[in-house]
Amino acid sequence: MTVQSDTMGKCNGCSTTVERLVKYQVMKLSQTPAGTIPIGESYSQAAGWNCNQSFTGFSTASCSQGYTTLSDGTFTDGWTLNSDAYTPPGCGETGSSVDHWQWCTHSPPSTFGTLTGGCKTNSVTINGYTDPPNAMPIGKIINP
């Protein structure tokens, strides 16, 4: 999959906690867009956590939920702690989560892109790019 955009904002209803939205395009081996395909993610959360409050977990998109890419093979993935309630500022995951994006019609599902990283209240790291201040470059290829 290839990075199409990487933007940072605040999570829904949040005034301080960030949300990172990355738009990807799934490509076939022929380097043409995959078109509309069923997708899902297989997610393993990082073991480390350094906020004062317990973490309630992330929302993920499993193959059973029926998500698809758009007709041009694109989809947007959001990473956030999704709450301003976590303290102290800057706390969050201290390890690296692993997020395998998969083509769901295969049995078992076939991974087409693997992301690693984690969320804090004030930043999100994906594949070594911590935003702020470093977004992933447009056109960056994310391999399985």
Q: What would the pLDDT profile of 11-43 be if each residue is shown by its tens digit? A: 999 999 999 999 999 999 899 999 999 999 999
With a cut of 90, say whether residue 51 has pLDDT above it: yes
62-103 tens-digit pLDDT: 999 999 999 999 999 999 999 999 999 999 999 899 999 999
Residue pair 124/7 in contact by the 8 Å Cβ criterion: no
**Domain segments of the chain as ranges:** 2-131
C-alpha dist (Å) from residue 53 to 17, 56, 92, 109, 119: 15, 9, 10, 35, 15
pLDDT at 57: 82
pLDDT at 143: 95
Q: How much is the pTM?
A: 0.95
120-134 tens-digit pLDDT: 999 999 999 999 999
